Every structure is written in C-alpha cells, then in structure tokens.
Structure 1
Amino acid sequence: MKNIYCIGELLIDFVAENQGSDLSRATEFTKKAGGAPANVACAIAKLGGSSLFVGCVGADPFGQFLEDTLKKARVDIRHLQRTETFTTLAFVSLAEDGERDFVFSRGADRELKYTTEIKKGFKGNMVHLGAATSLLGGPLESAYGHFFFDALTEGAFISFDPNFRLDLWKNKETSFIKKCIPYIEKSKLCKFSLEEALLLSGETAMEAACKSLHEMGTEVIVITLGGEGTYLSTGNRQKVIPSISVNPVDTTGAGDAFIGCLLHQIAQQGHFLQLEKEFDLLSEMVYKANIAGALTTTQYGAIESLPDQEQINQAIQ
C-alpha cells in the first residue's frame, strides 16, 4: 500500500448550523477541524490507509486542537509545521439543504515553508495537492510549487483538486485559472466540481470541458455532481457513476471524503501508471468513493462525519 502525502491548509471551521446562508445573521457557531487536504488525509486514515499531512498551524490553542484532531485520526503529522502566526479560520454558513458559503480569515496556513527532507518520501508514493488557499501567494504557494516539482521528479502519482472558493478569488478568476493550468497539465488525476471544470476549461458543457482539460495533460478526470454521482472521464471513455440517496445536512467535506476514498483505493493497487486504461476498475472505485462522499453529508462537520470501511460496505449491500 502506498503512502499518500496531502499538502495544504489545516484550519478551524466555525460552522453556523441551520441559520441560513447569510453569515451576517448567524449568531451561533460550532468549532470544527477543517481544511480540504487535512480532510482528505483523515478520510484515507479512517479507511485504513497511510496518509501524511504537510501544512502549518499556529502556536495557539486552535493549532493545538487541530494537531490533536489529526493525531486522533491516525494521520502522520511528522511534517506539520507551527508558526507564531494565528491559526487560519473559516466561517461557514449552512442552508437547510446542507449547502455552504465560506468566509476566510487567513493565518498560519500561508506560512508553510518548503523543506527538502520530504522529497525522498515521494518516490513511488502518492501526492495530493488540494488546497483552496495554495495559490494565493506567500510562502505556501512557493512551497506548494516546490513540492509539486519534487513529486514530478520522484515519479509520484499526483492528484490535484483546485478547490475553488469564490470568497478567495473574487475578481481574480483569470489568475486562478492561469495558476491551476500547470497542475492540470502534469497531474495523473484531477478532481473538479462542475463549476470548476467549466471555469478552468472555458467551456459551457461538461463533455467539452473534459475534452479541453484532457488536452491540457491530465489523464483521469472526476467531476463530482452532488446527488447525481460523478462524471468519470479517461479521454477515450466517459460515464456518470451514480451515488446513493441520502438526506444531506452538511455537504462540508463531501468532496474530500470522495477523493480520499478514491486515492485510498488507488494506493492499494500494485501499479497505477496505466490506471487510465482500466476504466471498469476506475468505475468501481468511483462508485465506492461516491458512497463515502454521500455518507459524509449526513452529519455535521467534515472529519467527524467521515465513514469507515464498514459503513461503506454496509451502504453497498
């Protein structure tokens, strides 16, 4: 089984549950551990996989809470960095259907520094780059690019999820697209929402978007479609893989649970260099990953809601 390095932000989600989508009117918030790459690392670990988190938190009580959360989830945190900058916060509103809106208060996550000691661990393993804040400048963006280059030179399996957040990129969408393209060109697997696929490709239809994104270089594309499932494309073959029906209360972390479950399954394969040629196998993996994502929406909070292998197996039956 391969090790999976998840690189990017670890932060506090302050969640306003069942108070509508207008954060200005919310009065009560619940503290949750969050950050897409950290969620993915926890999803992998909960399924029995080997995940290592690379990111930065503040030397404050919130940073300690986040460190303790990853330890409890059995994520390897040997590469977790700490800084005097305050831990990053995100304020999340939840509408009645579980859909979300975000406002970020950036802090320690941007202070991640590149270190050469991680490079040797990439060889023959997997690297997931899925940070919403990773391309916003500062030390984090520089470190992100260096780790990406190291993963390429070491022959790692690279997964990329742009995790577009309008609050972070409003009126800067062109810059976001430009910065994402090198990752799309070189990653083996890319996960997008439909909004992201259309934005990054410049197309208006999903099929055309996939064609354009494949032409950039990525070999396997998964586009999550909520309750409808996931559109899987390998260039030569495409298919919508269905999900299961659930009553969602909080969609936070659903995409992270999905990609975590998919990466965990890929890591169990003896090889992954020709994965794009095994469409039927990929379809089975995506179906299971859809279930992981769906189950995550049935409870509040991303990490607390991540399913284990037994829960996924029960849902399949």
Structure 2
Amino acid sequence: MPRPPSSGGVTVLGECVADAFADPARSGPQELDLRVLPGGGPANTAVALARLGTPTRLRARLSHDVLGTLFRNRLTDAGIDLSAGVSADEPSVLAIAGLDESGQATYTFYADGAADWQWSTDELAAAPYDDTLCLHTGSLALIHQPGGSRIEDHLAAVREQLTICLDPNVRPHLVPPAAYRERLPRWCALADILRLSEDDLALLLPEAGPEQACDIWHALGAPLVVITRGRHGALASLNGRRVTVPAPAVDVVDTVGAGDSFTAGLLHRLAALGHLGGRLDALKLDDLADACSFAARVAALTCSVPGANPPSAEQAAQTGDFERLRPPA
C-alpha cells in the first residue's frame, strides 16, 4: 500500500538560465531587441512545483550579477526556499531562444565558466534533506563539468533516503549527445524516475522506439521511465508495464517549459498519492496513469501561454475551457 500523503516536499538541484527572446516589433536590420525571462529546466520545474502547492527547495548556484537578481526575484515570488543554495561570483547562463512555426524553441547558449557548473563536494554536502521526499535534478548542471560528476556522487550518497528523479534534458548544441550517452548508465543506476522527451530519445537512442528505449533503461536500473511525446501525450513504463496518456487539446503558443511543468505535475501528484520518499515499490499502474494525466494537463496549460509560466494549483485542478483556465501571460 502507498504511504499516506506526507508534508515533505521536493528539492530541485540544478541551474537557472536567462532565456532571451527576440522582439521583432522593436528590432531592425542592424538592431536586435531582446526580451529576457528567467528560466532553466530545473528552475522551471521548481516554480511549477511551488505553484502547484508542493513545498519546494531549489539548490542552485546563483550569481551576484544582474541575471542572478532576476532569478532570485522569480524564485522567491513563487515561494521557493533558496536557503540551501550558493551565492556565487561566476556569471549566470544566457540562452538566446528562437521559435519555429509550431512554437518549438531552440537555444544558443552562452555558458562558459558559469556559476551553475561549479558545485564543490562541500557545497553539495552542506544542506540536509530532513524534510525532502524527492530530489529532482538533471539538465545542464548534471552533464557540465566540473560540477556534474560531483552531483552524481552526491546522488549516490543520499539516494537511500530519497526518491531520485532525473531529467537529462539533452542540449546538443552545447554538449555533444555522446557525452550524455556515456553518463546515462550511471544516471539510470541512480534514478528512480527517468523523465525525458521524445527529442531526447531521438538523440540518445536514435535507433530505438519508445518502448524499446524504456526496456534498455530499465535494464540499466531505472524502475520508472516516462517519455513525453508532445501532442501525442506520454508513455510511462514501470519495470516494463506500460501506460499511455493523451495530451489535452490546446492552442499552443509555445512549448517553453512544457517538459519541466510535466515533471512538476508528475512529482506533485505522486507525492499526493503517497509514493515519494522511497523506491516506488508500492506504485501501481492506475496511480501512475493518474499522475501522468495530471502532469499532461499541467504541461498543456503551460503551452497555452508565452514562456515558462506554469499554472496554479487551482487552474490545474479545474476542468473546462483552457482559454478560461490558462495562466496570465
């Protein structure tokens, strides 16, 4: 039987990124006007979790620069606990985003020597997880060195007391996919939940279909694999037993932060059902389908507005017209 819902929360470990979008109305042939919004996969997940009502802590290395101030304002406004983070001297990460005709974002990163990649072993060990059910990490902070390998070692040290959720969030223009493939066996051995997109799948296992990929990652140690498939919904595989959930119909403005919102919805619902805090031994397919359906709704609401602007708990819980329920832009 699952445990009763706990008052414990989720700790997210990873980067903040400033997403800069071109403003065509204010740009010209010799001038590019950018609108800069706070983002980054782990930070987006933390914001979405907090808006859903999950007690959320973000462990990030936040720069003293102007972008670091932007990040702090967003995170504290969302009610996220930043007490386990590090105030860093290195610069923040900047990503310039372009949107294609479907609203899909592509990024050019400016990230050399950034604060997010400089975790030390002592910094990671400094904060306890007494009130945490799940530690979520991944994305650039986990692959970028020197901090990435130290985060891996940290996960190995704390996983006996926590559920570990990991999102590779492959960024091929910044880190070669081969580097992710090299690290993925260890990530699967550390993770209870591996959440990734079909775009990640195409880069990591280009010859494998979703179900075959799930079986490969199960064999490497990950008991729960969830692959999000955009408008086609999501596939979840629990030690080889599958469930699929559809994506709610929505007018997509852009897909920025959709996968991060899905992860947040999944963890929020699994916590509410009493399944976080251990090895997912009591998780059944009906509860998994419930959690994935809720996560798909959270992701769809995020897609209905510009940028990584996830819904509140009230919006995600309601049923009805997406136009009425969508978060304010």
TM exceeding 0.5: yes
Structure 1-normalised TM-score?
Answer: 0.89
Aligned to 1:262: 266
Match of 1:136 among 144, 154, 161: 144
1:165 correspondence with 2:171: yes
Q: Say whether the 8 Å CA contact 2:23–2:32 is kept in structure 1.
A: no
1:41 correspondence with 2:46: yes
5+ residue gaps, structure 2, are: 1-6, 322-329
Tell me the CA shift for residue 202 of structure 1. Answer: 5.7
- The CA distance in 1 between the partners of 2:31 and 2:251, in whole Å, is 23
1:127 correspondence with 2:131: no
- The CA distance in 1 between the partners of 2:311 and 2:286, in whole Å, is 24
Q: Which moved more, 1:274-283 or 1:238-247?
A: 274-283
The share of aligned pairs that are identical, in percent, is 26
Q: Counterparts of 1:5-20 in structure 2 under 5 Å? A: 5-16=11-22
- The CA distance in 2 between the partners of 1:92 and 1:205, in whole Å, is 29
Secondary structure in structure 1 of the residue aligned to 2:174: helix
| 1:26–1:285 CA distance, 2 compared to 1 (3 A) | farther
5+ residue gaps, structure 1, are: none
| 1:290–1:18 CA distance, 2 compared to 1 (3 A) | farther
Match of 2:295 among 289, 294, 312: 289
Q: Counterparts of 1:211-226 in structure 2 under 5 Å? A: 211-226=215-230
| Aligned amino acid, residue 145 of structure 1 | E
Q: Say whether the 8 Å CA contact 1:2–1:268 is kept in structure 2.
A: no
Aligned to 1:2: 8
- The CA distance in 1 between the partners of 2:283 and 2:265, in whole Å, is 20
Q: Counterparts of 1:178-217 in structure 2 under 5 Å? A: 178-201=182-205, 203-217=207-221
| Aligned amino acid, residue 228 of structure 1 | H
| 1:277–1:79 CA distance, 2 compared to 1 (3 A) | closer
1:117 correspondence with 2:122: no
Match of 2:60 among 49, 55, 58: 55
**Runs of 4 or more above 4 Å deviation:** none
- The CA distance in 2 between the partners of 1:294 and 1:276, in whole Å, is 28
Q: Counterparts of 1:75-114 in structure 2 under 5 Å? A: 75-106=80-111, 107-114=114-121
Q: Say whether the 8 Å CA contact 1:17–1:93 is kept in structure 2.
A: no
Aligned to 1:231: 235
- The CA distance in 1 between the partners of 2:201 and 2:214, in whole Å, is 7
- Indicate the structure with greater helix content: 1
Structure 2-normalised TM-score?
Answer: 0.86
| Aligned amino acid, residue 247 of structure 1 | D
Secondary structure in structure 2 of the residue aligned to 1:195: helix
| Aligned amino acid, residue 287 of structure 1 | S
Secondary structure in structure 1 of the residue aligned to 2:142: coil
Tell me the CA shift for residue 201 of structure 1. Answer: 4.2
| 1:18–1:238 CA distance, 2 compared to 1 (3 A) | farther
Q: How many residues align?
A: 306
Cα RMSD between the aligned structures?
2.2
Q: Say whether the 8 Å CA contact 1:11–1:109 is kept in structure 2.
A: no
